[in-house]
Structure 1
Amino acid sequence: MTSPSHRFNDAVAGRLIVSCQAPEGDPMRHTGTLVRLALAAEAGGAAAVRANAPEVVAAVAAATPLPVVGLWKDGDTGVYITPTVRHALAVAGAGAAVVAADATDRPRPDGSVFADLVRAVHEAGALVMADVSTLEEGVRAAREGADLVSTTLSGYVPGSPAQDGPDLGLVERLAAAIGVPVVAEGRIATPADAAAALARGAHSVVVGTAITAPTALTRAFSRALVTP
């Protein structure tokens, strides 16, 4: 029998995962709207969807056959992407095939360590995607049982290099160093960026803002048209 990790990894190999999220206060932050984004992603050929918060994860999982990479953002500083075991279990219980969680070396608000979250999610029957910012964090997350490692937090955490484009160097180093699939995520703005990530060793690619964030995209165009 094929394991859940093999099924998911096979489903997303060389393909796109679309992040259907919206920040607090954004008009797009509405469960029904985010479900429609997920359905549009499915229609466009996405292999999976990444969604935030248990209620959205549950709604998306009910609306599309695509596997859902679920997370729960709580706060906006420190560890806030699925920060505790409680958050992780709620996301798994909502129907996520994969639970994405911060796997940096920063302290977690419930005093747990990343390995505790991995163990709890696996016992609940879901997989874990480790969101990391450095090679060292990715290596440790893989060693602690993460099923996939994503470059989500590179450039957003002190100690990782700030840059305008995707961190393809980190993708390549992780792919060479660990035995679990590496997911490229973060500042992937064009189809060429996505293809470059695969060429550097990514197993699959997550794209969010460039596909599903009309407010941010409109803001970028508007700022570009302002006369200095």
Structure 2
Amino acid sequence: MDERILDTIRGGLIVSCQALENEPLHSSYIMQRMAVAAMYGGAVGIRANSVSDILEIRKEVKLPVIGIIKRVYDDSDVYITPSMKEVDELMTVRPEIIALDATKRMRPGKRSLEDFFAEVRAKYPEQIFMADCSTLEEGLNAAKIGFDILGTTLSGYTSYSKGSELPNMELIQQLVESGEKPVIAEGGIWTPEQLKHILGTGVLAAVVGTAITRPMEITKRFVNAIE
């Protein structure tokens, strides 16, 4: 693992620039401009979805990229980089970090995380992989099977973690205190004050997405406050 990549993002803000097909800003060019704005604003990294978005972002942005591919399969609830197909696609553009769902849910083809990631690690031994987890148990398991970074990305998004208060400070603190792997906090960070507090817990870095790059959701938040 290239520790220089971790040093580049250490203590900083990573901005998630994503828009799905059903969202108003779905466009690789628009995501590139979002990423450029984040870079000018002082972000240390970008989280991006799809090969096309990453290619477009890299034309203008030289920050480390956490790459994912969101894809739905009929036989699994896992949708963040769910199979080797998505990993292979991402490796054509070699993002500095690849994130994938590291929950206990079965993957497409009824494969376990352990079986799947053993194959991934054997195929790409030098790549940095981030585990998107929803519980402490999943984070500890991800560290055990060889992930390089632990993320709190999926807290609240699995059936058994629904209702978790976000940002999930307890999970963030538990993963940091475990000392197993560097931790990237992600999920539900809405204010600069929350970000500052989280970065003080000892995490490697933190990801903010919706609060910066999803104006439809930001607008809803304001509208809901006045209704």
Q: TM-score, normalised by structure 1?
A: 0.91
Structure 1 residue 118: deviation in Å? 5.9
Q: Which amino acid aligns with 2:106?
A: P
The 8 Å contact of residues 154 and 186 in structure 1, kept in 2 or not, is answered as yes
Alignment of 1:108 with 2:98, yes or no, is no
Q: Which amino acid aligns with 1:129?
A: M
Q: Distance in 2 between matches of 1:122 and 1:18?
A: 30
Question: Structure 1, residues 37-61: CA drift from partner, whole Å, max 9, x if none?
Answer: 0111110111110000111122212
The 8 Å contact of residues 151 and 171 in structure 1, kept in 2 or not, is answered as yes
Unaligned runs of 5+ in 1: none
Q: Distance in 2 between matches of 1:121 and 1:67?
A: 20
**Paired position in structure 1 for 2:159:** 158
Instruction: Classify 1:183/1:107 alpha carbon distance in 2 versus 1 (closer, same or farther; 3 Å).
Output: same
The 8 Å contact of residues 99 and 127 in structure 1, kept in 2 or not, is answered as yes
**Paired position in structure 2 for 1:17:** 14
Q: Please, which moves more after superposition, 90-99 or 78-87? A: 90-99
Identity of aligned residues (%): 37
The 8 Å contact of residues 16 and 204 in structure 1, kept in 2 or not, is answered as yes
**Paired position in structure 2 for 1:196:** 197
Alignment of 1:72 with 2:69, yes or no, is yes
**Paired position in structure 1 for 2:46:** 49
**Paired position in structure 2 for 1:99:** 98
Structure 1 residue 65: deviation in Å? 0.8
Q: Which amino acid aligns with 1:71?
A: I
The 8 Å contact of residues 168 and 200 in structure 1, kept in 2 or not, is answered as no
**Paired position in structure 1 for 2:82:** 83
Q: 1:58 aligns with which of 42, 55, 70?
A: 55
The 8 Å contact of residues 156 and 166 in structure 2, kept in 1 or not, is answered as no
Structure 1 residue 122: deviation in Å? 6.7
The 8 Å contact of residues 89 and 121 in structure 1, kept in 2 or not, is answered as no
The 8 Å contact of residues 84 and 117 in structure 1, kept in 2 or not, is answered as no
Unaligned runs of 5+ in 2: none
Aligned length: 223
Equivalent position SS for 2:8: helix
The 8 Å contact of residues 60 and 68 in structure 1, kept in 2 or not, is answered as no
